[in-house]
């Protein structure tokens, strides 16, 4: 196992080189196979991990708790009302205290800046469990899922349909690092961050892949091997729900849109889904959907991250 990631923070996919993304994926495949074969590893024996959450979670919380345990460590879950980052005490004070007790901090925060502040003051690695800007652990699980399906990324084209949000940012940065091409289609005003797009474009080019940002979902999906969507209204944006529902009309991943993709295309959704908004039941529960493999793979991808970083 390589040592380069040991002790480092994972706040963004930007924190990983293409070689390090490869290293995480290789270890994740390995840990998944071994887990299925009943082989256990005590890589985190005696280590403690704090799970500091400012927002609700099903997948991220369960996969980190179970993953830490499977690797022989243990975790302490801190719910939104427990710590109250920056309210009950300052973010650096939280980081400095936690660093005296635990070997790593997994944090889901409202503002990405709070994650940066946490990492600056922490003496232990901080792992982003979702911020308003990125969701790197999601992207690693996504790549694991696609690599299982397609055996690699060369020549594979993905379409992102919907909001150019946190999950989109991490997916773009991660896809670029493995040479997976992505066409993003969002309504005007909901495109991904231009710096993320520029960086992903430059990285993708190195691997002969591309990143395009469009406003027509059919154009993005045409012939795509992967169709990925996420909610139109993310956690914390509930006040904008009606405005967003209107803005995203025409961006629903339904059977008609999916018919424009490659016949063998797979459908991704990070979940939770707002059924009937960004995706129909027919597609989410249909034969092209791999969303449960995707959810399972969060576990294996994050175990690899924990094993490499802690």
Sheet with 48-53, edge to edge strand ranges: 74-78, 48-53, 104-108, 126-128
Q: What are phi and psi of 115, to 5 degrees?
A: -65, -40
Q: Is 201 exposed, middle or buried (0-12, 13-18, 19+ CB in 10 A)?
A: middle
The DSSP symbol for 15 reads: G
Give the nearest distance from C-beta 92 to ligand CP in angstroms.
26
Three-state DSSP at 293 gives helix
H or E element, residue 187:
none
176, 270, 306, 307: which one binds ligand CP (CB under 6 A): 270
Binding partner at 110 among ligand CP, ligand NVA, none, C-beta below 5 to 8 Å by kind: none
DSSP class of residue 154?
Answer: T
Which residues in 134-163 contact ligand CP (CB under 6 A)?
Answer: 138
How distant, in Å, are the alpha carbons of 15, 179, 181, 211 from that of 208? 22, 7, 9, 11
Q: Does 295 bind ligand NVA (CB under 6 A)?
A: no
Nearer to ligand CP (CB atom), residue 140 or residue 196: 140
Any catalytic annotation for residue 274?
no
66 binds ligand CP (CB under 6 A): no
How far is the C-alpha of 60 from the C-alpha of 77, rounded, in Å? 11
114 binds ligand NVA (CB under 6 A): no
CA 27/CA 22 separation, integer angstroms: 9
Residue 137, interface with ligand NVA (CB under 6 A)?
A: no
Place of tokens 């256990």: 40
Contact with ligand NVA (CB under 6 A) among 12, 63, 70, 165: 165
Interface characters, 163-182, with ligand CP (x: CB under 6 A): --------------------
- Nearer of residues 130 and 140 to ligand CP, judged by Cβ: 130
Closest contact distance (angstroms) between CB of 141 and ligand CP is 8
Residue 234 site contact among ligand NVA, ligand CP, none (CB < 5 to 8 Å, cut-off depends on kind): ligand NVA
Judged by beta carbon, residue 167 or residue 174, the one nearer ligand NVA is 167
Active site residue: 61, 108, 157, 225, which one? 108
- Residue 135 annotated among the catalytic residues of the structure: yes
* Catalytic-residue membership of 298: yes
Catalytic, 138? Answer yes
**Residues 37, 122: Cα–Cα separation, whole Å:** 37
Classify residue 213 as left (phi > 0), alpha (psi -120 to 50) or beta.
beta
Return the active site residues.
108, 135, 138, 230, 270, 298
Binding residues for ligand CP (CB under 6 A): 57-60, 130, 138, 270-272
């Amino acid at each position: 196992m390589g040592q380069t990631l040991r002790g480092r923070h994972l706040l963004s996919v930007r924190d990983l080189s293409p070689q390090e993304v490869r290293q995480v994926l290789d270890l994740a495949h390995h840990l998944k196979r071994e887990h299925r074969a009943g082989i256990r590893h005590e890589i985190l024996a005696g280590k403690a991990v704090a799970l500091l959450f400012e927002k609700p979670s099903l997948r991220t919380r369960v996969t980190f708790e179970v993953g830490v345990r499977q690797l022989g460590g243990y975790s302490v879950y801190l719910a939104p009302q427990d710590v109250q980052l920056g309210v009950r005490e300052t973010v650096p004070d939280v980081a400095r205290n936690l660093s005296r007790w635990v070997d790593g901090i997994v944090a889901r925060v409202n503002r990405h800046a709070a994650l940066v502040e946490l990492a600056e003051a922490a003496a232990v690695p901080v792992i982003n469990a979702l911020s308003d800007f990125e969701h790197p652990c999601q992207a690693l699980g996504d790549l694991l899922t696609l690599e299982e399906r397609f055996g690699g990324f060369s020549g594979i084209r993905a379409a992102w349909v919907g909001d150019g949000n946190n999950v989109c940012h991490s997916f773009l940065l991660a896809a670029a690092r493995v040479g997976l091409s992505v066409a993003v289609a969002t309504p005007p005003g909901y495109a991904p961050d231009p710096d993320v797009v520029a960086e992903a474009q430059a990285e993708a080019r190195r691997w002969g892949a591309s990143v395009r940002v469009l406003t027509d979902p059919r154009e993005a999906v045409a012939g795509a091997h992967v169709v990925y969507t996420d909610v139109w209204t993310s956690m914390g944006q509930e006040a904008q729900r009606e405005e967003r529902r209107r803005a995203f009309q025409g961006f629903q991943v339904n059977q008609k849109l999916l018919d424009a993709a490659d016949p063998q295309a797979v459908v991704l959704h990070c979940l939770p889904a707002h059924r009937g908004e960004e995706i129909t039941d027919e597609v989410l529960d249909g034969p092209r959907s791999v969303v449960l493999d995707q959810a399972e793979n969060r576990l294996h991808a994050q175990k690899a991250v924990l094993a490499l970083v802690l």
